[in-house]
Structure 1
Amino acid sequence: MNDDLRVFYGWVQRSREILFRYCESLPPEIYTQERSDFGYGSIRNLHVHVADCYLWWVGVVGMGHPKADLKGADFPNVAAVRAVFEGVDRLVEEALSSFDRLDEVYVWTHPSMGWKINVSQRWLLMHPITHEFHHKGQMLALGRGLGHPVPDSYETDLVSPSLSPAT
């Protein structure tokens, strides 16, 4: 079930791997450098925010898991953030294996704040993906602003649907 979304998420993972390679090429102090003039403050914090978005929308809203509430400062380096995304990947796989009403729109109510939103299972998967690509652009812009532009050989936007991982 959901084979098309599974293939698509595989492309997202390959694109994410390229971003991880870029982040691993940065001096550690650049990855975690706080900038008050930039949303979420650091490349690391943006990366953790993206993982938290998946955990919230897919995990909490879509599957009823407890809220994770990740904080960037709890993740000292790229390896720690990679580990969080391994959990994200397991969660997305769990959703892809269990979501069976992809396009049925329903109203979800926030349990403590009471606000309501119309969602579907497909939206719960797609929103964190589009959110990830939005913040990826911010991470790369921040890296460039800190003197570490993405090498020309790193394609971070377009993901080729080839069978082998992008390099």
Structure 2
Amino acid sequence: MNDDLRGFYRLVQGSRERVFGWAQTLPPEVYTLERADFAYGSLRNIHAHVADCYLGWIGESGLGLSVPEVVATQFPDVQAMRRRYAEVDGIVERALNEFTELDAPLLIPHRDSTLEVTRRWLLLHPFTHEFHHKGQLLALGRVLGHPYPPGPDTDLLLPSEL
């Protein structure tokens, strides 16, 4: 079920791994360095926010799971954050296996109202949200003096790279 979305998520995962690979080469203090002038403040905090988005939208809203909020300080380095994303991958895989009627309306509570979305939207929203924040990660890396190296495009893996 959901083979197209599963294939798309594999491209997302590979693209994420490129960024994690780059982050792994940074001095450890750079990954957690707080900058008040950047959204979420640090590379680590941006990664934590994205993981929280996946877990909230897909895990809680889509699967009805009780998922603890991702607290960035619990993840002191890239390896710890990778482990959190392994949990994210598990939640996405579960949703890909369980979600049926991808385009049927789904009402979910959100803040002080109710949103009408679909299960397809619950999956695609965090997928695309991750790419929005990837731009912030790479911009912050440049500002911190550690630009992403030239080479493969960071937007999405090529199909041949799977």
TM-score, scaled to structure 2: 0.96
Change in CA separation of 1:154 and 1:21 when aligned onto 2, cut-off 3 Å = farther
- 1:97 alignment counterpart: 97
Write out per-residue CA displacement over residues 94-137 of structure 1, whole angstroms, 9 at most, x where no aligned residue.
00000001001122124xx5421111000000000111000000
| Alignment coverage as a number of residue pairs | 162
User: 2: CA distance between counterparts of 1:47 and 1:147?
Assistant: 19
Does structure 2 retain, via aligned residues, the 8 Å contact 1:18–1:155? Answer: no
Aligned equivalent of 2:54:
54
Partner of 2:44: 44
1:115 aligned residue: 113
Once the two structures are superposed, the pairs formed by residues 1-12 of structure 1 within 5 Å of their partners are: 1-12=1-12
Paired position in structure 2 for 1:66: 66
SS at match of 1:109: strand
> Is 2:154 aligned against 1:161?
no
Deviation at 1:158, TM superposition (A): 3.2
Q: Which moved more, 1:151-160 or 1:83-92?
A: 151-160
2:131 alignment counterpart: 133
Q: Give the secondary structure class of the aligned counterpart of 1:59.
A: helix
Aligned residues of 1:107 and 1:117 also touching (Cα < 8 A): yes
Unaligned runs of 5+ residues in structure 1 are none
Q: Pairwise CA RMSD of aligned residues?
A: 1.1
| Aligned partners of 2:23 and 2:31 also within 8 Å | yes
Gap runs ≥5 in structure 2: none
Distance 1:56 1:14 in 2: 22
The whole-number CA distance in structure 2 between the counterparts of 1:114 and 1:150 is: 39
Normalising by structure 1, what TM-score? 0.93
Q: In 1, Cα distance between the equivalents of 2:149 and 2:76?
A: 24
Question: What SS class does the counterpart of residue 68 from structure 1 fall into?
Answer: coil
CA distance in 2, matches of 1:58, 1:21: 25
Q: Could you tell me how far apart the structure 2 residues matched to 1:9 and 1:121 are?
A: 15
Aligned counterparts of 1:114 and 1:138: Cα–Cα separation in 2: 28
- Give the Cα–Cα distance (whole angstroms) in 1 for the partners of residues 90 and 154 of structure 2: 23
Identity of aligned residues (%): 54
